[in-house]
Each structure stands twice: as structure tokens, then as C-alpha cells.
Amino acid sequence: MKFNQFAVTLPAQDQQILELQKIKIYPTDLAQYSLAQLVAHVYRHFFPDYRSPEALTDRYQRLLIDPETDLATYLTQIDQSVDQQAFYNVGLQLLGFLTPRDFRLNDPLTAMTSMGLPFVAASELDFTAFTTAVYQLLVTRSQNGLLMIDNLANRGYYQVNFSVSERQRHLIFNGKVQATFDVSELIREIVYVESDQDTDHDGQRDLLQATIIRPRVKDSFTKLPALYTANPYFLGTNGAPMNPVDQPLTVKASGDARENPDQFDQFDHFAPDPVTGQTDDPFARAETTISSSGDNTVVLSDFFLARGFASVYAAGIGTRGSDGIRTCGSPEETLSTIAIIEWLHGDRRAFTDRSKQQEITAAWCNGQVAMTGKSYLGTLAIAAATTGVAGLATVISEAAISSWYDYYREHGLVIAPETFQGEDADVLTDECFSRMKDAGDYRRVKPFYQQKLAEMRQDQDRETGSYNHFWDLRNYRNQMAQVKCPVVSVHGLNDWNVKPKNVFKLNQDLHALGKTHKVILHQGPHIYLNNFPSLDFYDLINLWLTNKLLAVANNADQLFPDYLIQSNRQADRWEQPTAWTAATTQRFQLNQDFTGAPSPASFRDDGSQAFQASGLSGLGWEQAFMNQDPRFAANQIVLKSAKLQQEMLLTGRPELHLRVKSSADHGLISAMLVDFGQSHRLTPRPQIVAFDARQLGYQGPLETTMEFAPDAVSKVKLIAKSHINLQNRHSSAINEPLSSDEYVDVNMALQPTYYHLPAGHQLGLIIYATDMGMTLRGQNDLVYTLDLTQSTLTLATPSAKPAHI
Amino acid sequence: MKFNQFAVTLPAQDQQILELQKIKIYPTDLAQYSLAQLVAHVYRHFFPDYRSPEALTDRYQRLLIDPETDLATYLTQIDQSVDQQAFYNVGLQLLGFLTPRDFRLNDPLTAMTSMGLPFVAASELDFTAFTTAVYQLLVTRSQNGLLMIDNLANRGYYQVNFSVSERQRHLIFNGKVQATFDVSELIREIVYVESDQDTDHDGQRDLLQATIIRPRVKDSFTKLPALYTANPYFLGTNGAPMNPVDQPLTVKASGDARENPDQFDQFDHFAPDPVTGQTDDPFARAETTISSSGDNTVVLSDFFLARGFASVYAAGIGTRGSDGIRTCGSPEETLSTIAIIEWLHGDRRAFTDRSKQQEITAAWCNGQVAMTGKSYLGTLAIAAATTGVAGLATVISEAAISSWYDYYREHGLVIAPETFQGEDADVLTDECFSRMKDAGDYRRVKPFYQQKLAEMRQDQDRETGSYNHFWDLRNYRNQMAQVKCPVVSVHGLNDWNVKPKNVFKLNQDLHALGKTHKVILHQGPHIYLNNFPSLDFYDLINLWLTNKLLAVANNADQLFPDYLIQSNRQADRWEQPTAWTAATTQRFQLNQDFTGAPSPASFRDDGSQAFQASGLSGLGWEQAFMNQDPRFAANQIVLKSAKLQQEMLLTGRPELHLRVKSSADHGLISAMLVDFGQSHRLTPRPQIVAFDARQLGYQGPLETTMEFAPDAVSKVKLIAKSHINLQNRHSSAINEPLSSDEYVDVNMALQPTYYHLPAGHQLGLIIYATDMGMTLRGQNDLVYTLDLTQSTLTLATPSAKPAHI
């Protein structure tokens, strides 16, 4: 396992000394110390949890500096230098590595090299080299993936060596804020932020409940930045029923769907703002209520609590304890999301309870906010960024939607997120409308809510799947020019819930506008990647937030790679390309460069009954379909390249041009780009490396580390897919007529990828129509015919065109 | 879902009032209150997390007492009584149930009845009835499975209503100790207990590291009982390699294996006890070191931390930080386990660090200790109980071994725990010898340890599998007469790791000696059952520990059922038979009551190559074997009864009598008793009911609730199995000669069960030899022949003999 590390720098020697003194690993009166005394001082500080000299000696005796000698003995022998091998043997043991399992005492450096751990090259460490070695060791990643300095903090280093007031200030080491704050006694409070909106039309401005969890700080000069997560699921979900999906495709009337006169902005009218009186005591005490929502936090926020960042959670309009109704992706939802930031930044009022008698300010906050979260949570972070709201310093957005059309629709078709067949904006709205859980509250809002939900069902238009005004309002990319804060995106290259197109297009748009966008792509599906030992994710985010929220000049913009992409061939290889595309493209003729079907090639789309009979899930069907299960073989055309003679890297969006005809005046085409070839691919999900391996702060919660591992041999893997309605050949908004049995040309941009196709494998293309896991799946019984001589696949790849393709 | 509740009582009315006053739900000056005022007082106290009157009113408005009226309105209307339906509508909402999902506002009692929640029958609640209703509601289980009073505590009830010193005393309500103690700031300390033994032969008494986590108590009159978990895995494991298993059965020399002169007690010699000096300061401060082992606790202990019980963990001899070597189940291990109790009880010395300069007493402890834990952890609790050590007040032992022979052997055969083929005492010893992780420490002990490990490999005797002196030393049931404390056992009826025979025999022996033994049997494999909403496990244990460790007279012995057995047909049905056997037995002739094979019936035991070729795991093989996979059909005889006309309950140990011959002078027989019939059986493992559903103390850790659910349809399920060496027909210790092709009679007691075999199903018996998941599995290629006319199956069952069997 390689412990990759991107968020680390090695400053000049004098700076190293200053920083080591600041964290008290080096004494302030350094000049009084011989090297031997200094070494003893340093090691003593490496064991904050051994308080008596005798206990410390016993501990030293358990560490070997070579196969025969323990550290206690060695410390009595140091004179002018420290032996390099002795230093790193002890260092590796301190980092949690075991001998002989992880390294050999007579050659620690070989293991360090293979694990990617840095070391000082000199064989004898004098004061200068020792200083660098100590500095570097403290910011080296340990066996549990945390830095040594983090593990020291978790063992009580700051509790032992720092005063209470020193622990309430943001301490910076190596450009990153350290875990000095006490998390054993946190303040938990709930406030009600007053919105300008009245989305439930009750004549009152919506009050929005926010939960704040923060370290108790008595030093009034210390102000905390906030990590804010807008989480519509925070106060529970309703188990809303799905829409029916066993319905056939139908013919659409031609025209621009955005111009449909029936479409209107669902929330275009608001009640006038009522006047709210000021109270006599505008700065009431904060702790009016205690969170009953427990520790329903995200782990990234836990990591930063001990680093002096407040965690702020809000579920938003229409959730339990708040006013308003859910609107799923609408501008009203975005405004309610940023209301919390406006309060944190001092630009909006909040109250201690819903009676609005006591105003409360976020006096503890430094006004700098970052938004975090995955999926819907990360989506709302993107939404907030597009407003340019003051106080939002950055967003760390994971697996986020950048346009809701790209979540529930594609190219004129209804397309479900993986495993959520039948979900749509109405379902998610109803799922998150947790006001329903308070019977007395729901009673008041039910008629208005049900009316609006019915309107949404109409407006989202599952009949045509076209891009209309409803979806245009929910396309955050329309507002990219307003983004003021730098954005970090994390996304799984195998995320078929929120598909990678969402982050790809966001990246294109932000870069086109010259804005900062850092992108981390992993090999997982719709998951967090915090706990991968192969990547120093926490440190990267720490570097980033220390720069953006605490204004520390730490070179974060340069150190944080523009792209960090996990290899599909080796989980601990993180590549840093300069772009998520390639300067060169290669075009393949489907009738020449691929084999498997004659041209013209036909297939019948009548697999719905076989699918129903199979009892397979959508995912099970997809696996069977890619493995050319005979039950579905008539519903597909499978094309394969020759075996590759050398590895080929596919990056960006593969583009498919097809000349196709349908046996009717409507139709759809789906395509999968796949990797055919027997090999041990990575597991689809990360596997547990070590249970409860590491702590997030002194006496903080525990985290299990996970990583992808080589899986059992498989024959095929999905690289990318796409779907298109043949009536939307040029635009998802423009519905065009289709004539039966008449060829049309369609261009399909597949989902983006970054894929190393190994030598010996074959590039595959599966052309089909109904996708049981994603499209509507009623019986269509149409025949499609492809003119392969007029069909091509274009790939962005830096690889030379393989000889056999 | 039925919320079963066993640990609750309803005291007399005056006692109800006194207890309600003690927890401050009722005011002390009760006589001054009108009913309306009292009701207002009670509801106000139900919302400790709403501190302003306005916030409280808003909260009341969210609760409905009927479809049209909220609680705020209703409270203004109360005069001489409270409407029963109003009370329980609000009560259900307070318990976390939702309307209309879980109950209907116009008929709450129907839902309460079906969920098993108690209520007062009067339609109008006057003072008396209201008092009972409030008292009962507080100890009623909520949607997350905790009592309402527990959820109140988790929402800060005691922080709001009790002083700091009041929160540092054990508060009893309804016979159970309440969560008043503050868990946000815990004391974590490590001490070194001095043993009398010197198991690593270094001339020094073994020091044993113990980690203590306890609430900070300033009130010196409050002494804490301790929940002690002896956990050999606590400080890490080594990934020790397994023994080879692809070996054939061999012929044993005849005789009593216990008399083998090569067998000796591995640790019969100890170094003399050295004299250790007393220090000048024998009562040193406790917090000499901070636990670096993090929160590696068991959840039951977490639950009791807030209830004023200390958590104590020790990994034992041969683990990291301690002296000695691992000995797996030996008397030396038992002595090292109870050394911690002796210190907690004031009968043994401990030191602040390994230098032994500062003695430390457990002055905070009331001297009363309970041991808890699952598997090896629970096993050591049983081991400790057999010593009768002073201070051990009870043990709560889950999935525990009661004789190591019943873990690694059976009836003269080497038998592996499920999924751990090749494991044995030597492997587990090496796995837990975590001193290996400290290179400097391991260096000193390695030669002696390796020598002892080699001796153990010899003594455990994988050659014969017979019961010898080594195993006799590791049979805790030899010491049952010394047990002084009452024992609670929890075990899975489908636990094929630690097999149910361990708890069954323990139960027989303890009952034969007239000792208290409470048994809870669930439908899981080798798991904890803490988080099942269908059982009030925490409350039962709370009732028990409040009685045993805090000496509160709460009728625990009577209230705690002798047997609580989860039904295999319905997860939320917990039965309370008076014995784990039946007074009546039924004997079935295998040639008459079963069909499937003629008599004599033969099978060949040559499946090893087919198993290897299949690539199946042991578990996969077992499933295939039970489903009569053609690859293994020649290796089995499958007998089936007729379809049952009515359900039949099997309890205790099924007994199989077989007349059998082997084609050689050695041989083994395995048998599975199975349930044939298509049905939705329970899932093998509990499924998640609600993620992070409940908190263990105010700001304490969260727990996910889980429960078994009906699974997809299956055809067959294992009820019980057994294995026997034909050379051990009368005793596991006595090896007898076997003649080839000559019938012998063998009696096999299968693992105990408690199984409802449904009407329409068939009782099945699969007779075979090599068990790929459990026995040695080398190629034997023997033929076995059964005389079914002289073979019987005897079942303990209270059911009448079904007509068709």
C-alpha cells in the first residue's frame, strides 16, 4: 500500500525550527540543548500518554533501533549525530508499522520507499538533518492514514503540553490547522433563521431551523469558521412511493419544450413580507434548545471540530422544525440554503425559538463558511455557490448534481439514478418533506403542499422527458458566472446514481469562466472517500480550508492538484493529469474497427417480459446484459475491438455517432462502452482495511479505514453509458419528428470516464434500447437497425491508436 | 413489530408517586397542584430540550390529541380528567411513532395493542389513572427500542433538572438505574495489576495491563460498580496462519487418551514469587497514562457508563503491555483473568506503571464486578465464574465456550468453528499474543514463547482429536461446583462458531447444582443481540445489574425469565418455556418413519476432490450439500419424513442412534437434522431497522437497530448437526478399535435446538462423513453402510407425534 501525500511541504530550516518550537516539540531555549538533550526532549514529547519517567523508559525499551538494541539504551549513547536507520526504525514503529510484517530492522528505508514515506537521505543525522527528519516525520502518514502529529493529538499531546487557552486558538503546523480544540464538551444549539421567502404561503416568512455543534471557546478573540452542511435528510425521510416505470415510450409533439405554455414557475408568487418586531434583548443566549438529532453529522465535520471549525446543519424548507415546503432543486430551495450562510456572515436575522422574540447572532463565527456533503448535500453546496453569497469561502462538494435534468433525465428521456427506478423530483420532494412527521404541523400545511406537489408532478413531465422550463430552473450551470468561491468536487467514476456528467460539465463551465475548480475522481460508486488510506484527503481539505477560511498563506492553490484521479488498475495510484480530456482524439468505424455484427445490424427491443420473468434487479439485469445472457441477447448488438496490444487510456466523454432507424415514429437508443477481458478488477466498493482504525480528535469518534482491493476475476466491466430519445437528436429541449423505417443520424456523448483499458482486453460497445435499470421499461416491441458503415466512436485518448483496433 | 418487555413492573400507586417525585416528573409539593397544573408540569418535563415557554408552546402545537386539536389547545381545557385517547395519541408521538404510518389518531389503542405497548384502560384519566399512565409511559419502549425515560435522559433531562451532585448518584426508577452520569468527560486510565503467576518464566510476577473508563465522580460517597471485559483481542491480533486440514482420518491406538504419558500440564512450573518492595506513596493518582486504545469498547458497557458503571478492559497474559504468554483456555489464563477482579475488589495490588513504584487502588469502585462480552470475551467470564472469586457478582456471557473441547473438537474428531477451518488452540494463542507487536518486548520473550507454542501444538493433538489432559484442563465445566455468582448466558441457536452445546451443557450443569442460570437464545449466528427492538435486552440487563451490583431489591430473579427464546418463525416472538427440553420424547425408526434410502444404505466418502474443484467455501459447500447438489450426492444419505400435518416443536438435543459399518478400521459419521420445505424463513443475519436510531446516554454514542426479517423463499434449513469418530463410540476420551465391515452401534447427541418445524414441511436427516466446513477434509475414500432397521432418531418435543411421521 502506497500512502500518497499531496498536502505536505518542507519549509526552509529556520521555518522548520520555528514551527517545531510553536508546537513545543522543540524547546524555546533550544540553544541550551546538546543534540543528545534535544533528542531526549523530542522523544519524550512523542509519548504524551506516558507520564512517569519509569513508564517512558519501559516504553522506550519496547522500541528497537536495530535487531539487538532498544531505544532506551540508544538514547544514552547519542553524541554528535543520530543514526539514520535507528531514527527511521523507531519512526516506523511510532507510525504504527510492525516489524517484520511491514519493515525489516536492518533495512527500514526500502519499506519506506515502497510505501511512499519520505526520509532524510544522510546516514548520520546532525542537528540540521535531525530537525528536518523530525519535522518531516510529524507530517508523515502513519499506518492508519493519519499524520503522526494527528495521532499525537489523539493521544492527548495538546492536553498535556498546552494550556486551556492555548488549546482554544487555531494552531498552524505545516500549513494546516491542528487538532487542539476540546471536543469532549461541545456546544449544541438550535436557531431559527428568518428567510425572506414564504414558500408555504402562510403569510409568514419561513423560519429555517439550523443546528450548530461547536467547541466551547472562552477566548473571545478566537472566532470559528463554519462547515455548513445543508442536509434535507437530516431530520428523517418519509419512504415516499416511486413513480410507475413499466410504461412504454410514446411519441412527442414536436417543438421546443421550454416554450410549453402550460409550464410555469411553481413558486412565482410569494406572500408579502410581514413586519417582525425587534426584541429588547437582541443577543440572547444561544443554548435555548439542545439538539435532539444526536450525532447525525458527517465525518469530515467531525475531523474539523477538534480543529476549531463549527459544524452547522440545516435541513431546509419543508423539513421538521422549519417552515416552507420542499421544492427539489428550485431557486427557492437555493435561497433557503444560503439564508443560513447569510446569518453566519451577519447579514440575516435568526431567533432563539420560533416565537421570534429573541434574536441571536453568530457572534462566535468568523463569518467564513465552507459547505460540504455528498449527493443532495453536495448539490446544495453547488447551488449555494452559484449565488455568490457573501461568506461562502469555498465548497467541498461530493457526488453532486450540477443540473437536476442530468439526474432524472437524459437526452429527452426519463432516466433513473441507479437502483432508484421511478424516483423523480416529486418523489424526492415528498421523501424529504419531514414536516409530515409532526402531525400538528402537517395538518396546517397539508392542503397547500399537496396542491404544489401535484403541480410538480405535472411540471416535471415524465410523459416526454424533455428539457422544459421546470428543469431549466433547476440547472445550476445557468448561473456559473455568479460563482465567487473556489470549488472542490469529489466524484466516483463509477457513480451511476449521480452520474459523472454532473461534475464534468461543472468543471468545463467553471474553467471556461476562469474559476478555480479542483477535481478528485475515485473508483467508487456513490460514496464518500474520506477513509481511503491511499489518499491524504483530510490533509488536502485541511490545507484548503486553512487557506480559504482562516486566511493562512499556505500555497494551497498550488499544492492541491487540479485533478487527482484514482487509477482503475491500482487503488493506491492517484494520477494528476492536467486536464480531464486529451488533446488527441481517435475515431473508430464501427464496421471496420469492431466486429460482432454485420451492417446493417438490427435488434428488437422486446425484453421487458423476459426481464420481469427473470426476477432480476436493475443491477442484476445490467450484469447479465453485459455478460450477453441468452435471455436478453436479441435485445442488443455487441461489438468488440481486437485485443489491445498495449494499454489505452480513455479520458473525458466518449462520443458515439450512429445512423439508426426505428420501426416506428418514436424510439430510443442506449449504449454501453465496456471493457471485455478476464482480470482481477478492483472491487466495486471499498473493503475494510482496519476497523475503527483511527480517531478524529482526542477522545473523538473512531473511523474505519477502507480501500478498493483486487476482486475475483470478472469478464466485463462497464466504462460509460448513455441514452437518447430519437426525437431529441439535436437537443433535449427540441422535440423533432421521427419517421418510421427512415435513417437518422444521432450523436451521443456518453458519461465521462478516465479508464485504463489494459493490453489484451477488448473495447466493447453494446447498443440497445430499453435499459431496465434506468429508462422507462414498458414493452415497446420496436426494431432498430444501425448502418454501421456510417457510425463511429470517438475517444479522447493520449494513447497512440493500438495496432489492432 | 411487537416491542416485548420483560423488565418492567407496575408498583402500587403510592410507590408510583414517590418514584415520579424522585425523578422530578412530579413536583414534591404535589398537594398544591390541580390536575390541570400537574398535567402541565408533566408535559413541560417531557421536553427538557425546549427551554422557553414560546418554544414549548410551538412544540405542543405540533402534537395532535385528535385529528383537529393540538396539545397546546387541549392543555387549556383540562379540568377533572385527561381523555385517554388524547393522552395516548400524544404519548405515541412522544415515543417516536408517526401518524398515520404507525397509528391512527381516532384509535391509538389498537396500534398499541398490536405493538405490545401497555396502557391504562379507563377512558377518562383522573389523578390516580393519570399517575399510572405517566409512570407506565415513562417505562414504555419507544420506536427506537429504548424506554421513554432513556430518551428523555438522552435529550438532557437530568442536565436540566438535576444538580451536578445529584447526577453523580445512582438513581433508581422502576427498579433500574438511570442515565444520570455525565459521559462527556470520562476518566481513562491504565493500571498494571500484579499477578501471582510468572507465565513467561522471566523470574518476575506477570504484570497485567487494565484500562478503565469511568465517569468523573466528585461525590466521594458514590462508588461505582465495574463492568469488566476480558478481551484478548483488545490490543490487536497477529493474523496467525491456520493448521492444514486437507488430511485424511487415521487409525487411533486404543486406550484412554487422558492417560497418555506424553501429556502434561504445560504450565506446571512457575518461578518463585519475587519480593516486591512497597512504595512510600501507595495511593498514587490514577491518571498516570491515557488510554491510547481509543473507544474500543463493547456497546453494553457504553450503555452503562451513563448509569454510573465503570468499564474495565484487560487483554490478559501475553498481550501488548502485559507480561506472560498466551495459553488459550488454560487455568493460568483464568487466574490472570480474575486478577483484575481481585484488584477491583481490593484483594490484589496494582501499579501506576510497569516500574511498580507507585501502587494504585480502585478506590472509586464499590467492589462489585460483572463480566460481559461475546465469544472469547464471554468465555473468560465463564472461566472467572468457575473460580468463585470474591467481587464477581454476576456474569453476562454471550456466545461463550464452556469447554474448549466443545469448541475445537467433537466426539473424538477435530472440528473447526464455522468459517475457521484449521483454527485450533495454538492458532488462537498465536493470534492473540500481541506482545509480538512491540519488537523490543517480543525480542525478550520469543524463545520461551516459541517453545511453549510448539508444546501446545503437540498437546492439543490434532492427530487423534481425542479428549486428553490438555482438553480436560480447558473444560470449565469441571469446576461448576465452585461457581458462586448467578450467570446470564446469551447464545445464537444458529451459532456454528461457538456451538450451542456449550451453553446447553453449562445450563444442565448449573441447574443440577441448583445455581441460577438465565438463558437467552436468539435466532442469529455468532453475534450480539443488544440492538434488537423486539427485546428489551438493555432493560433486562439493567434490572439484573441494578440488583446484583447495586443491591437494589427489584425482584430481578423473578422478573428475568429462566429462558427467553426467539421464535424461528417470527422474530418478534420471544417464548418463555420453563425448560430447554421437553418431558416427552418421540423415537422415530429411520426405515419406517423416513423415506429416501433402502436399508442397508451405503454412501461413499470421497468428496474432497469434488469439493476442491468446486471452489466453494465451507459455507457454500454446506448449502450445496443440503440442497442435494449432484456433485456431492454420492457422499450422503438423505432421509425425509412425510409432510407434517401440524407444527412440531423440537427442543433440546436430538439423539441419533445408528448401526453403521465402515469399509476400513477407522471412520467418522456426520449428521445434519434439517427442515425441508419452501418458505420465507428468517434472514440468517439481522437486517438494519434504523441507522443510528438511538443514543447510549446524553451526547453518548449512537446505535443502529437491527432485527431478523423474512427472507426470500428457501427450500432447506439446517436445524442441528453432529460428528463422531467411530473409534470413540462411548467416550471422546476412550479410543476403541474398529473392525472393517463390521456393524457397530453409535449414539450421537446432536447440537441442541429449539425449532418450530412448520406444518407442511418435512423433517430431514442427512447422514454423511467428511464435513468440508468443519472436519479434516483429506481424501478418505471409505464406504459406510447403515442398517436403518436398527437406527433411530429421538426428539424431545412437547408436540404430539404427527400423524404422518
Per-residue pLDDT tens digits for A370-382: 999 999 999 999 9
A579 occurs within a structural domain = no
- The answer to whether residue B296 neighbours chain A at the CB level (below 8 Å) is yes
The answer to whether the CB of B768 falls within 8 A of the CB of B601 is no
The answer to whether the CB of B590 falls within 8 A of the CB of B767 is no
Q: How far is A54 from chain B (nearest CA, A)?
A: 6
The separation between the first and the last C-alpha atoms of chain B, rounded to the nearest angstrom, is 34
Residue B270: per-residue pLDDT: 52
- The answer to whether A357 contacts B51, with C-beta atoms less than 8 Å apart, is no
Single-letter amino acid, residue B82:
V
Residue A212: per-residue pLDDT: 92
Q: Kindly identify which residue of chain A lies nearest to residue B192, measuring between CA atoms.
A: A55
Cell of B458: 503437540
Q: How far apart are CA A369 and CA A228, in angstroms?
A: 7
- The answer to whether residue B702 neighbours chain A at the CB level (below 8 Å) is yes
Q: How far apart are CA B761 and CA B716, in angstroms?
A: 9
By Cβ distance, the residue of B51, B71, B98 closest to A437 is B98
Cell of A618: 436493475
Question: Cβ contacts (< 8 Å) between B354 and chain A: which residues?
Answer: 54-55, 58
Question: Cβ contacts (< 8 Å) between A693 and chain B: which residues?
Answer: none
Cell of B452: 511453549
A505 occurs within a structural domain = no
Residue B619: per-residue pLDDT: 94
Q: Are strands B186-194 and B207-215 parallel, antiparallel or unpaired?
A: antiparallel
- Is B275 or B14 the better-scoring residue by pLDDT? B14
B4 occurs within a structural domain = no
Whether residue B293 has pLDDT greater than 50: no
Could you tell me the pLDDT band of residue A699, with boundaries at 50, 70 and 90? confident
Known catalytic residue: B150?
Answer: no
- The answer to whether B63 contacts A186, with C-beta atoms less than 8 Å apart, is no
Q: Are strands B517-522 and B487-492 parallel, antiparallel or unpaired?
A: parallel
Distances (CA, A) of B715 to A699, B525, B682: 49, 19, 13
Mean pLDDT of A156-184: 94
- The answer to whether A702 contacts B294, with C-beta atoms less than 8 Å apart, is yes
Residue A286: per-residue pLDDT: 35
Cis amide leading into A100 (omega within 30): yes
Distances (CA, A) of A157 to A44, A398, A402: 11, 32, 42
- The answer to whether B440 contacts A290, with C-beta atoms less than 8 Å apart, is no
- Within 10 Å of residue A217's Cβ, how many Cβ atoms? 20
What is the domain count for chain B? 3
Contacts of A501 (CB under 8 A, 6+ apart): A406, A653, A751, A752
Considering just the CA atoms, what is the radius of gyration of chain A in Å? 29
- The answer to whether residue B295 neighbours chain A at the CB level (below 8 Å) is yes
Q: How far is CA B514 from the centre of its chain?
A: 22
Q: Kindly identify which residue of chain A lies nearest to residue B288, measuring between CA atoms.
A: A51
Among B residues 342-361, those touching chain A with beta carbons less than 8 Å apart: 352-355, 357-358
The answer to whether the CB of B535 falls within 8 A of the CB of B564 is yes
Per-residue pLDDT tens digits for B673-725: 999 999 999 999 999 998 888 888 887 778 889 999 999 899 999 999 999 99
- The answer to whether A295 contacts B440, with C-beta atoms less than 8 Å apart, is no
The answer to whether the CB of B543 falls within 8 A of the CB of B176 is yes
Q: Do B366 and B411 fall within a single domain?
A: yes
**Closest residue by Cα to residue B474 from B355, B382, B587, B596:** B382
Q: How far apart are CA A767 and CA B734, in angstroms?
A: 70
Q: Do A597 and A687 fall within a single domain?
A: yes
A580 occurs within a structural domain = no
Per-residue pLDDT tens digits for A661-680: 999 999 999 999 999 999 99
Q: Do A356 and A462 fall within a single domain?
A: yes
Cell of A201: 404561503
**DSSP state at residue A482:** G
Q: How far apart are CA A723 and CA A673, in angstroms?
A: 12
Q: Kindly identify which residue of chain A lies nearest to residue B701, measuring between CA atoms.
A: A295
Contacts of B21 (CB under 8 A, 6+ apart): B27, B28, B30
Contacts of B737 (CB under 8 A, 6+ apart): B254, B665, B727
Residue A802: per-residue pLDDT: 55
Mean residue pLDDT across chain B: 92
Could you tell me the pLDDT band of residue B651, with boundaries at 50, 70 and 90? very high
Q: Do A164 and A116 fall within a single domain?
A: yes
Q: How far apart are CA B1 and CA A421, in angstroms?
A: 28
* Percentage of residues of chain A with pLDDT beyond 70: 94
A254 occurs within a structural domain = no
Residue A261: per-residue pLDDT: 52
Q: How far apart are CA A500 and CA A507, in angstroms?
A: 11
Concatenate the DSSP letters of all residues of A730-751 into one string: S-SSEE----TT--EEEEEEPP
Whether residue B771 has pLDDT greater than 80: yes
The answer to whether the CB of A559 falls within 8 A of the CB of A139 is no
Q: How far apart are CA B704 and CA B709, in angstroms?
A: 16
The answer to whether the CB of A663 falls within 8 A of the CB of A740 is yes
CA dihedral of residues B22, B28, B31, B34 (deg, nearest 10) = -90
Q: Do B193 and B166 fall within a single domain?
A: no
Question: Cβ contacts (< 8 Å) between B438 and chain A: which residues?
Answer: 62-63
* Region label for A148, one of left (φ > 0), alpha (ψ between -120 and 50) or beta (otherwise): alpha
Per-residue pLDDT tens digits for A339-368: 999 999 999 999 988 989 889 999 999 999
Q: How far is CA B291 from the centre of its chain?
A: 26
Paired residues of B172 in beta bridges: B177
Whether residue B290 has pLDDT greater than 90: no
Among candidate residues B488, B506, B530, the one where a domain is terminated: B488
Per-residue b/e over B647-686, b at no fewer than 16 CB within 10 Å? ebbbbbbbbbebbbbbbbebbbbbbbbbbbbeeebbbeeb
Whether residue B283 has pLDDT greater than 50: no
Q: Are strands A413-414 and A409-410 parallel, antiparallel or unpaired?
A: antiparallel
The answer to whether the CB of A774 falls within 8 A of the CB of A678 is no
Residue B191: per-residue pLDDT: 92
Residue B299: per-residue pLDDT: 80
The answer to whether the CB of A703 falls within 8 A of the CB of A689 is no
Whether residue B586 has pLDDT greater than 80: yes
Q: How far apart are CA B512 and CA A626, in angstroms?
A: 63
Cell of B35: 390536575
Known catalytic residue: B14?
Answer: no
- The answer to whether residue B102 neighbours chain A at the CB level (below 8 Å) is no
Distances (CA, A) of B789 to B404, B557, B595, B750: 36, 48, 12, 20
Q: Do A191 and A173 fall within a single domain?
A: no
**Closest residue by Cα to residue B395 from B481, B516, B290, B282:** B516
- The answer to whether B352 contacts A695, with C-beta atoms less than 8 Å apart, is no
Q: Cell numbers 480550508 label which residue?
A: A545
Residue-level length of chain B: 805
Could you tell me the pLDDT band of residue A773, with boundaries at 50, 70 and 90? very high
Q: Do B445 and B296 fall within a single domain?
A: yes
The answer to whether the CB of B287 falls within 8 A of the CB of A159 is no
**DSSP state at residue A477:** G
Q: Do B88 and B225 fall within a single domain?
A: no
Mean pLDDT of A375-401: 98
Q: What is the CATH number of the domain that holds A668?
A: 2.60.120.260
- The answer to whether A288 contacts B55, with C-beta atoms less than 8 Å apart, is yes
Paired residues of A394 in beta bridges: A370
Question: Cβ contacts (< 8 Å) between A94 and chain B: which residues?
Answer: none
Q: Out of B411, B522, B526, B723, pick the active-site residue.
A: B526
Per-residue pLDDT tens digits for B41-97: 999 999 998 878 888 999 999 999 999 999 999 999 999 999 999 999 999 999 999
Question: Cβ contacts (< 8 Å) between A695 and chain B: which residues?
Answer: 294-295
Q: How far is CA A57 from the centre of its chain?
A: 45
Q: Do B356 and B426 fall within a single domain?
A: yes
Among candidate residues B488, B504, B529, the one where a domain is terminated: B488
**Closest residue by Cα to residue A695 from A180, A119, A303, A143:** A303
Could you tell me the pLDDT band of residue A287, with boundaries at 50, 70 and 90? very low
- Is B710 or B186 the better-scoring residue by pLDDT? B710
* 3-class DSSP assignment, residue A606: coil
* Percentage of residues of chain A with pLDDT beyond 90: 84
Q: How far apart are CA B293 and CA B235, in angstroms?
A: 7
Q: Which of A648-657, B47-56, B776-785 has the lowest average pLDDT?
A: B47-56
Q: How far apart are CA B632 and CA A538, in angstroms?
A: 52
Contacts of A372 (CB under 8 A, 6+ apart): A227, A228, A229, A298, A300, A301, A378, A381, A395, A396, A397, A398
**DSSP state at residue A257:** G
Concatenate the DSSP letters of all residues of A517-554 into one string: EEEEEES-SS---TT-TTS-HHHHHHHHHHHHHH----
Could you tell me the pLDDT band of residue A271, with boundaries at 50, 70 and 90? low
Residue B291: per-residue pLDDT: 34
Q: Out of B495, B593, B605, B771, pick the active-site residue.
A: B495
The answer to whether the CB of B745 falls within 8 A of the CB of B789 is no
User: Which helix (H) or strand (E) is A469 found in, with range?
Assistant: helix A469-473
Whether residue A280 has pLDDT greater than 50: no
Q: Do B361 and B474 fall within a single domain?
A: yes
The separation between the first and the last C-alpha atoms of chain A, rounded to the nearest angstrom, is 34
Mean pLDDT of A6-25: 97
Q: How far is A444 from chain B (nearest CA, A)?
A: 10
Q: Which of A434-443, A464-473, A767-776, B234-243 has the lowest average pLDDT?
A: B234-243
Whether residue B30 has pLDDT greater than 80: yes
Residue B82: per-residue pLDDT: 98
Q: How far apart are CA B372 and CA B603, in angstroms?
A: 46
Q: Which of B267-276, B307-316, B484-493 has the lowest average pLDDT?
A: B267-276
Q: How far apart are CA B536 and CA B568, in angstroms?
A: 18
Q: How far apart are CA B649 and CA B653, in angstroms?
A: 12
What are the strands, taking DSSP E only, across B174-256?
A: 176-177, 186-194, 207-215, 224-230, 255-256
Residue A293: per-residue pLDDT: 33
Residue A450: per-residue pLDDT: 96
By Cβ distance, the residue of B64, B357, B692 closest to A439 is B64
Residue A258: per-residue pLDDT: 87
Q: Do A190 and A161 fall within a single domain?
A: no
Could you tell me the pLDDT band of residue A332, with boundaries at 50, 70 and 90? very high
Q: Are strands A255-256 and A734-735 parallel, antiparallel or unpaired?
A: antiparallel
Structural domain containing residue B123: 13-177
B555 occurs within a structural domain = no
A564 occurs within a structural domain = no
Q: What percent of the residues of chain A are helix, what percent strand, and what percent coil, each to the nearest 5?
A: 30, 25, 50
Cell of B39: 398535567
B494 occurs within a structural domain = no
Paired residues of A765 in beta bridges: A639, A673
Mean residue pLDDT across chain A: 92
User: Which helix (H) or strand (E) is A721 found in, with range?
Assistant: strand A714-725
Q: How far is B566 from chain A (nearest CA, A)?
A: 29
Among candidate residues A488, A510, A527, the one where a domain is terminated: A488
Q: Do B137 and B231 fall within a single domain?
A: no
Residue B779: per-residue pLDDT: 87
* 3-class DSSP assignment, residue A65: coil
Could you tell me the pLDDT band of residue A282, with boundaries at 50, 70 and 90? very low
